[in-house]
Structure 1
Amino acid sequence: MQEEKAKPKLSFWQIWNMSFGFLGIQFGFALQGGFMSRIFQTLGAEKDTIPMLWIAAPLTGLLVQPIVGYISDRTWHPKFGRRRPFFLFGAILSTIALFFAPYSSALWMAAGSLWILDASINISMEPFRALVADKLPDSQRSFGFVVQTLIIGIGTWVASNLPWFMTQIGIPNTAEPGVVPDSVKFAFAIGALVLFSSILYTILTTDEYPPEDMDLFQKEKEESKGFFNGVKEIFKNIAGMPEVMLKLGVVQFFSWFAFFTMWSFATPAITEHVFKATDTSSLAYNNAADSVGNYLGTYGLVSMIFALILAFVTSKVKINRKLVHMLSLFAGGSGFILIYFISEPWMLHLCFALVGIAWASILSMPYAMLSSSVNPKQMGVYMGIFNMFIVIPQIVAAVGGINFTYKFLFGEEVIFTMVLAGTSLILAGLANLLITNKQVTHDG
């Protein structure tokens, strides 16, 4: 890896400000992850068709993130910097898509809204990852990504509980068949407002370091101009990705297969298996679906607490990133599998608490390890390429990987999707044993 110029250490609040936009990004992801399947079911989707309705989102991410990362590496504006223009553009599009998603009147409209929403969030998300690596020395990167995870945990917890909270203050939680309840519409509107305002906060409170050699930067930018040059360079970077990145890709594959399974099937699996509710227009189903959002909020809350613990630890001592990640994934896998065996609904909080430990680690440790293994000048494009290992498992899951695997391994009941998610996380934990480079597994 190319040596980079020494960077000053930043304070907690400087790191907080540069990561605060992730609060809004996670509002968007939590609302789509917790409630888009509910919207699909309300509009008449069968359970087995739900993953395919999600497929446009990861397909778009596969294309968008490397391109955005590549372009942002070659962007510099004296006032707006390198990554912040992409924050703003993505925020505007995401806000619009998030607001209108629950007003869909047909499945194709809902799937289209999800596609636009996910693509727009992706435009903002990876530059946020790259910004941490841009601004922090290696010794602070675990801490920086953990602070991001803390903010993500807050966003997950609050956003996942919004429909439930709307119901508690008297907003209707049921509607005519085929119509999304007002509680969900209000939740998405609040999410849209938080998304835009939090990203704007980061844009206004954070500056960026200019290129170390502006003349060389401009020369390299000119040499890489043009669509085909850009595509060629991205493929060159893919072919030349560090060995550590490939090994992390195996870990990421099983991790994100598990969470895509949760986002697609948690609502139908838990409402049916735990609450025995299947009529999507009934009060029983909609109350159960609100409860699922509440349980999903638990994994956000626990990921926030676990991130706080990690933030304290990583600010004081060096950690073994690989070991922390492996044990965290084992915890999350156990939580998913235990959902099948619970006897009381409240026990779901315990299951998703274990999932929250895995989520906190997934959002921090792989990025900390990756950022220590790549050329700092290519941080944006490699963060974007790394997203391939997030979206490819989601595409595999969407085109039949979930439906075939859980039925083949476990049985026809939809609750077995959660057992599949748990098994996948445990495999992800074991895959950490492939990573042996101490430069990336330990804090610098």
Structure 2
Amino acid sequence: MRRPRQSWAGLWNISFGFFGIQVGFALQNANMSRIFQSLGTSLDDLPALWVAAPLTGLLVQPVIGHLSDRTWLGRLGRRRPYFLAGAVLAAIALLLMPESPGLLMAALLLWLLDASLNVSMEPFRAFVGDMLDKDQHAAGYAVQTAFIGAGAVFGSIFPWLLEQAGVSNMVSGGGIPDTVRYAFWFGGAALFLAVLWTVLTTREYSPAEMARFDGDAAADAEDQARVTQALARRPLGGSLAWIAAGALVIAGVALLGLEKELYLLGALLVAYGVASIVAIRRARGGQAADMLGHIVGDFGGMPVLMKRLAVAQFFSWSALFIMWINTTPIVAGAFYDAPDARSPLYQAAANWVDVLFATYNGIAAVAALTLLPLLARRIGQARTHIVGLLCGAAGFASFFVVRDPHWLLASEIGIGIAWASILAMPYAILASSLPQRKLGIYMGLFNVFVVVPQLLVATVMGSITKHLFPHAPIWTLAFAAAALLIAAVAMTRVERARLA
């Protein structure tokens, strides 16, 4: 039995909430470095303050994915309770962020904001797969990407628009200007209302309907047994290897004097090793796999195509996080000659970064509905993603050629095409290849390969920048361009897996 085909109005309603979620992410991405520097932090300390965001996503998304696969709250449904709860908390964080009295409060609110956005975002990825049949997955994720781009344009450019309308962009003696303050307040309202629109205008399919669509009402019980048996057969050597790797990272930080944030990476490796030992021992003791068992078991048992796609995702998001952390200091220092966050020129550069971010997101929204579907029909989804990644690498490389900051708008065209492809193609490929009943947990686990590169960038890249080019952060974009090239090469293996 097939799912009913959705009209364009249905596709709109399913994905409109992502417009609001992306408003929140765009305000965070374009302005948090600015807020941290305005509150007195140095360029060297920015990556450490950003660590909270990816770490939160790493912990939240697999858990929310597992829970949303198994939730049914009657009229409120399966995924929508998580949309709504996350939107409320994210809106509160956006309202409070501009009033932060110091760095500690701003960092805590960034943690709350990112956790809340992840609570809303992860089920939205699975929601498209729930509501659409396979022949509409590409269209569904394209519409979702278009709303992501539109929301990011709104969130990125709003401080600049406020300045053009006469709102003050400076604070005497330093601090957070009114342009950022008002943008965060309006952004919180937009986030909540957009998510509420999707909650009120969609009806999720019940568990019985989903079982009829997927053709196997006993699949959940069979999957439970499969995961438990696979865990029971798994040797403990792999778990011990994770623990040993984490211990080596921790020892390396202590002995070599590396960035302290790398302790987090070591701790995560150790924690996963311990969690897998617990899950394996429970399975061997005859206990059915619980949430921990499913997360550990499904992570280790990912399909081959998903593993290969994860490599491309890892390098793609490494490049993106380099851009989000460093674009404001890059533009301010290299194009405005204003590295001091207290100077008017720095604030002007920061507002121009808002325009640049709005540009690449606008390009992404247009490309998602026009260029990407056209290419996907002609050359396939995997090859389309390769083209998009190469466009992004060219966009990053062009920062070394351009001298006038206004010409950076051209650079954002390639970056925008890459962003559209990163948001649409991997998820369309996954949604058509994974079992629908486990789409939430698999999408949550796939997010590991979005989050881990961000943790590495926020720690390792900080050390690289500090030691190799402390006063020229533009060189971080060379790493971003190289990462996208590696991701494009990795996608060739995904193409071979799909053809196999």
Trace 1:325-340 onto structure 2 (pairs within 5 A): 325-340=385-400
Helix, strand or coil for the counterpart of 1:191? helix
For the Cα contact (< 8 Å) 2:84–2:196, is it kept in 1? yes
Q: How many angstroms apart in 2 are the aligned matches of 1:300 and 1:260?
A: 15
Moved more, 213-222 or 135-144: 213-222
Structure 1 residue 228: Cα displacement? 7.7
Q: How many angstroms apart in 1 are the aligned matches of 2:372 and 2:2?
A: 22
Trace 1:59-70 onto structure 2 (pairs within 5 A): 59-70=55-66
Aligned to 2:250: none
Moved more, 10-19 or 422-431: 422-431
Aligned to 1:296: 357
Q: Does 2:23 correspond to 1:6?
A: no
- TM-aligned CA distance change 1:319 to 1:368, over 3 Å: farther
Q: How many angstroms apart in 2 are the aligned matches of 1:73 and 1:220?
A: 15
Aligned to 2:195: 199
Structure 1 residue 312: Cα displacement? 5.7
Q: Does 2:305 correspond to 1:309?
A: no
Residue 264 of structure 1 aligns with an amino acid whose one-letter code is: I
Structure 1 residue 348: Cα displacement? 0.5
Helix, strand or coil for the counterpart of 1:82? coil
Residue 10 of structure 1 aligns with an amino acid whose one-letter code is: Q
Structure 1 residue 176: Cα displacement? 2.9
For the Cα contact (< 8 Å) 1:406–1:417, is it kept in 2? no
Q: Does 2:49 correspond to 1:53?
A: yes
Q: 2:421 aligns with which of 361, 366, 372?
A: 361
Q: Does 2:394 correspond to 1:398?
A: no
Aligned to 1:351: 411
Structure 1 residue 104: Cα displacement? 1.2
Residue 127 of structure 1 aligns with an amino acid whose one-letter code is: P
Moved more, 177-186 or 193-202: 177-186
Aligned to 1:160: 156
Aligned to 2:143: 147
Aligned to 1:324: 384
Percent pairwise identity: 43
For the Cα contact (< 8 Å) 1:91–1:196, is it kept in 2? yes
- TM-aligned CA distance change 1:438 to 1:16, over 3 Å: farther
> Unaligned stretches of 5+ in structure 2?
229-286
Over residues 297-319 of structure 1, what are the superposed CA-to-partner deviations in whole Å (9 max), with x where a residue is unaligned?
Answer: 1101110111120476389x475
Structure 1 residue 425: Cα displacement? 1.3
Over residues 274-328 of structure 1, what are the superposed CA-to-partner deviations in whole Å (9 max), with x where a residue is unaligned?
Answer: 011122122211111101111111101110111120476389x475011110010
Q: How many angstroms apart in 1 are the aligned matches of 2:310 and 2:53?
A: 19
Q: Does 2:417 correspond to 1:421?
A: no
Helix, strand or coil for the counterpart of 2:3? coil
Over residues 41-66 of structure 1, what are the superposed CA-to-partner deviations in whole Å (9 max), with x where a residue is unaligned?
Answer: 11111112111101011111111000
- TM-aligned CA distance change 1:96 to 1:369, over 3 Å: same
Structure 1 residue 402: Cα displacement? 4.9
Structure 1 residue 438: Cα displacement? 6.3
Moved more, 116-125 or 207-216: 207-216
Q: How many angstroms apart in 2 are the aligned matches of 1:312 and 1:218?
A: 34
| TM-score normalised by the chain length of structure 2 | 0.82
Structure 1 residue 401: Cα displacement? 3.1
- TM-aligned CA distance change 1:221 to 1:98, over 3 Å: farther
- TM-aligned CA distance change 1:222 to 1:232, over 3 Å: closer
- TM-aligned CA distance change 1:434 to 1:412, over 3 Å: farther
Structure 1 residue 375: Cα displacement? 1.3
Q: Does 2:96 correspond to 1:96?
A: no
Aligned to 1:433: 492
For the Cα contact (< 8 Å) 1:372–1:439, is it kept in 2? no
Q: Does 2:343 correspond to 1:285?
A: no
Residue 419 of structure 1 aligns with an amino acid whose one-letter code is: A
Report how many residues are paired: 434
Q: 1:33 aligns with which of 15, 29, 32?
A: 29
Moved more, 279-288 or 152-161: 279-288
Q: How many angstroms apart in 2 are the aligned matches of 1:150 and 1:142?
A: 12
For the Cα contact (< 8 Å) 1:157–1:297, is it kept in 2? yes
Residue 332 of structure 2 aligns with an amino acid whose one-letter code is: T
Residue 104 of structure 1 aligns with an amino acid whose one-letter code is: S
Structure 1 residue 220: Cα displacement? 8.8
Q: How many angstroms apart in 2 are the aligned matches of 1:299 and 1:123?
A: 25
Residue 147 of structure 1 aligns with an amino acid whose one-letter code is: V
For the Cα contact (< 8 Å) 1:163–1:183, is it kept in 2? yes
Q: Does 2:77 correspond to 1:17?
A: no
- TM-aligned CA distance change 1:440 to 1:381, over 3 Å: farther
Q: 2:207 aligns with which of 208, 211, 218?
A: 211
Over residues 371-420 of structure 1, what are the superposed CA-to-partner deviations in whole Å (9 max), with x where a residue is unaligned?
Answer: 12211110000010000000000011111235427965x88611111222
Runs of 4+ aligned residues of structure 1 deviating over 4 Å after TM superposition are 213-224, 405-408, 437-441
Aligned to 2:128: 132
Q: Does 2:143 correspond to 1:84?
A: no
The CA RMSD measured in Å over matched residues stands at 2.4
| TM-score normalised by the chain length of structure 1 | 0.92
Structure 1 residue 141: Cα displacement? 0.6
Q: How many angstroms apart in 1 are the aligned matches of 2:10 and 2:467?
A: 48
Q: How many angstroms apart in 1 are the aligned matches of 2:499 and 2:363?
A: 26
- TM-aligned CA distance change 1:314 to 1:75, over 3 Å: farther
For the Cα contact (< 8 Å) 1:248–1:366, is it kept in 2? yes
Over residues 10-62 of structure 1, what are the superposed CA-to-partner deviations in whole Å (9 max), with x where a residue is unaligned?
Answer: 11110111100000011001010000000011111111211110101111111
Aligned to 1:374: 434
Aligned to 2:297: 236
For the Cα contact (< 8 Å) 2:224–2:289, is it kept in 1? no
Q: How many angstroms apart in 1 are the aligned matches of 2:173 and 2:442?
A: 45
Moved more, 29-38 or 305-314: 305-314
- TM-aligned CA distance change 1:38 to 1:145, over 3 Å: same
Q: How many angstroms apart in 2 are the aligned matches of 1:371 and 1:291?
A: 37
- TM-aligned CA distance change 1:411 to 1:99, over 3 Å: closer
For the Cα contact (< 8 Å) 2:96–2:109, is it kept in 1? yes
For the Cα contact (< 8 Å) 1:332–1:356, is it kept in 2? yes
Structure 1 residue 437: Cα displacement? 5.1
For the Cα contact (< 8 Å) 2:304–2:497, is it kept in 1? no
Over residues 101-143 of structure 1, what are the superposed CA-to-partner deviations in whole Å (9 max), with x where a residue is unaligned?
Answer: 1221211111111111000000000100001111111111111
Q: How many angstroms apart in 1 are the aligned matches of 2:73 and 2:139?
A: 28
